[in-house]
């Protein structure tokens, strides 16, 4: 029972951490857009694979 509880806690913590990471990456992308203007095809391709991996 204890092991299972630890696993649940870990999973919850990981989820919470990932959410904040997503928000941070979104902010960084917005900053990147304002600084460099139009995105290069390479960066957009990377973003597409990232979102697919997250879902």
Query: What is the model's pTM?
Result: 0.29
Domain definitions of the chain by residue range: 2-54
pLDDT of residue 26: 82
Nearest Cα neighbor of 23 from 35, 11, 34, 31 is 31
pLDDT of residue 14: 65
The widest CA-to-CA distance across the chain, in whole angstroms, is 53
Residue 48, CB-side half-sphere exposure with 13 Å CA sphere: 7
Q: What is the pLDDT of residues 2-55, one digit of tens each?
A: 666 666 666 666 666 677 777 888 888 787 777 666 655 555 556 655 566 554
> Cα–Cα distance between 30 and 8 in angstroms, integer?
34
- For 1-55, where are the E strands, in sequence order? none
Q: DSSP assignment, residue 38?
A: S
Q: Please state the separation of Cα 21 from the chain's center in Å.
A: 5
pLDDT of residue 19: 73
């Amino acid at each position: 029972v204890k092991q299972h509880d630890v696993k649940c806690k870990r999973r919850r913590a990981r989820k919470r951490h990932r959410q904040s990471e997503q928000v941070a990456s979104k902010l960084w992308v917005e900053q990147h857009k304002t600084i460099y203007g139009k995105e290069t095809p390479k960066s957009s391709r990377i973003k597409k694979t990232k979102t697919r991996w997250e879902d």
